[in-house]
Amino acid sequence: MGSGKILVLVGGILTLVSTFFLAFVHIGGDFYASGIGFLFNIPDIMANGDTYALTIGTETMVVYIVTIVLIVFLVAGVIQLIGMINRIVAIIGSIIVLGIGFVILFVALDIFPDMTPFALLLIDEAPAPGVWPLHIPMGDVDAGTLSLGTITLLASGVLGIIGGILGIED
């Protein structure tokens, strides 16, 4: 296997682990911003989009659009793995991951104050407190405690882009 293909593979697997097993930010108590939290929130967001819009202070359609973008993010790890066949797909999947990773980081650091209310979509009570999503603290931020999931998400996006640029040929 070529080095580009290995980097794309590692990036895709790291994206899936970061999204579904690691927390991005610990808000407090048993509440975390994570991909699995968002996954569990999707039915409630779709059923009560107007309530989320009222809480966030925006229109219902904006909540649905952000939800769709985050659903695409949930499958970005799979898109990266499909990128082992086509380098353009690897780069696109990695750009999605890197983009959402930076948004999560900037929201946690309060650099994007207008996006901060949308973090509510990612926040849910841990399915198994203390175990899942795994929270490995990386430092205190305005939103709570930054977790390893955000850092590994950014790293997986970088690995995927580098692997896509190097090429996936054997």
The pLDDT > 90 percentage for the chain reads 53
Q: Tokens at residue 12, please?
A: 């895709």
Burial of 58 (0-12, 13-18, 19+ CB in 10 A): middle
Q: Does residue 170 form part of some domain?
A: no
Q: Does residue 91 form part of some domain?
A: yes
Q: Does residue 8 form part of some domain?
A: yes
| Summary mean pLDDT of the chain | 89
Q: Which residues of the chain have pLDDT under 50?
A: none
Give the number of domains in the chain.
Answer: 1
Q: Does residue 11 form part of some domain?
A: yes
- Over residues 77-109, the pLDDT tens digits come to 999 999 999 889 999 999 999 999 999 888 888
3-state secondary structure of 3: helix
Q: Does residue 167 form part of some domain?
A: no
- Give the domain range for residue 12: 3-28+39-128+137-159
- Over residues 64-81, the pLDDT tens digits come to 999 999 999 999 999 999
Q: Does residue 99 form part of some domain?
A: yes
